[in-house]
Structure 1
Amino acid sequence: MTDALPPLPLIGLGPQAFAAVNALHGAVEEAATAAGLEPILLELVRLRCSQINGCVYCVDLHTNAARRAGEKDDRLAQLVVWRESELFTERERAALALAEAVTLVHDHDAGRALHRAARPVLSEPEAAFVAWAATVVNTYNRIAVTSRPVAAAGV
């Protein structure tokens, strides 16, 4: 990687912007819980988006957060192939499909199909806050991929 650019310290150069992202995360977390979304479901959504975006820092962070919330290692290992796995519920599948549609926003047709598939399973508020959780983690992924922070062991 001789042509690689050095990390761009987004957090250090824009602490007020990062504080706003953190505040948004807190607001979405609170509203998602009020809408009935379980902590493990939210961590699966965050982890799947981070996998798609190739954010090693966030994959580590959300894998550990999911474990702390009670998620099992076999499900974490199969999250990357959740469509083929029998370990995920219909509700989790709907949330993961919707999160992928938000993350892969460039594919409008697939996104609409995934959104339609999720809506009969998730209530409107649940679907909205899965989409919000995916939006926020996608923002964090882009910050981390650009600034390349080093994950602390056991984060």
Structure 2
Amino acid sequence: MNSRVSLSKKNAKAYSQLITMSNNIDEQAILAGLEEGFIHLLKLRLSQINGCAFCVRLHTQDAQKCGVSIDKIALVATWKETEYFSEKEKSALSLAESVNLIHNEYVPDDIYQESAKYWDEAQLASIEWISIIIGAFNRVAITSRYSVKP
């Protein structure tokens, strides 16, 4: 691979602010009642969709550290086809994917309304913010060609 400008190093202040924002979003999500392991599953799933190997590895490891089973981690890519995820979790994954893929159908009302059955406003906002911030990190890592070695 050709080397690229490291966005995190070239403008360390902006990257630091992105980290600070991400930490704030995670803190608010936990305060709103989202489990830390599930937050990492959301980030993992979105990173899979975006094709960010660096973030896939990172959030797989983070989910494991939070006690998420390896089966659930492995199956997050096919969450619609499994019984490992509750309807509540599925609604959050669906909403997160819709926000991440906003260019496809915006965020469809039916997906949002389904999530609103299970999650309160603070939780919905957290799921949406997690989707937005991980998209930013995915783009930084992919654009900079972050190295992912064994």
Q: Distance in 1 between matches of 2:97 and 2:108?
A: 8
Work out the CA distance in 1 between the residues paired with 2:33 and 2:73.
22
Matched, 1:55 2:62: no
Secondary structure in structure 1 of the residue aligned to 2:118: coil
Find out whether 1:35 has 2:32 as its counterpart.
yes
Contact 1:105 1:111 in 2 (8 A): no
Equivalent residue, structure 2, for 1:92: 89
How far residue 151 of structure 1 moved from its aligned partner, in angstroms, is 3.7
Give the fraction of aligned pairs with identical amino acids, expressed as a percent.
33
TM-score, reference length from structure 1: 0.90
- Cα deviation, residue 5, structure 1: 6.1
Rounded Cα–Cα distance in structure 2 between residues aligned with 1:109 and 1:63: 27
Amino acid at match of 1:46: K
Counterpart position of 1:16: 13
Residues 79-118 of structure 1: CA distance to partner in whole angstroms, max 9, x if unpaired?
Answer: 1110111110112111101110110010235633322221
Q: In the alignment, does 2:98 pair up with 1:101?
A: yes
State the aligned residue count. 150
Counterparts of 2:139 and 2:109, CA distance in 1: 23
Structure 1 contact 101–112 (Cα < 8 Å) conserved? no
Q: Which residue of 2 aligns with 1:128?
A: 125
* Distance (Å, rounded) in 1 between the aligned partners of 2:107 and 2:123: 20
Instruction: Give the TM-score of the pair, scaled to structure 2.
Output: 0.93
Partner amino acid, structure 2, of 1:24: M
Residue in structure 2 matched with residue 119 of structure 1 by the alignment: 116
Asked whether the 8 Å contact 1:36–1:126 carries over to 2, the reply is yes
Name the counterpart of 2:43: 46
Aligned to 1:77: 74
Shift of 1:152: 6.5
Aligned counterparts of 1:133 and 1:110: Cα–Cα separation in 2: 15
Distance in 2, Cα, partners of 1:22 & 1:37 = 19
Unaligned runs of 5+ in 2: none
Higher share in helix: 2
1:68 aligns with 2:65: yes
What's the C-alpha RMSD, in Å, of the aligned pairs? 1.6
Of residues 116-125 and 46-55 in structure 1, the stretch that sits farther from structure 2 once superposed is 116-125
> Unaligned 5+ residue runs, structure 1?
none
For 1:96, give the aligned amino acid: L
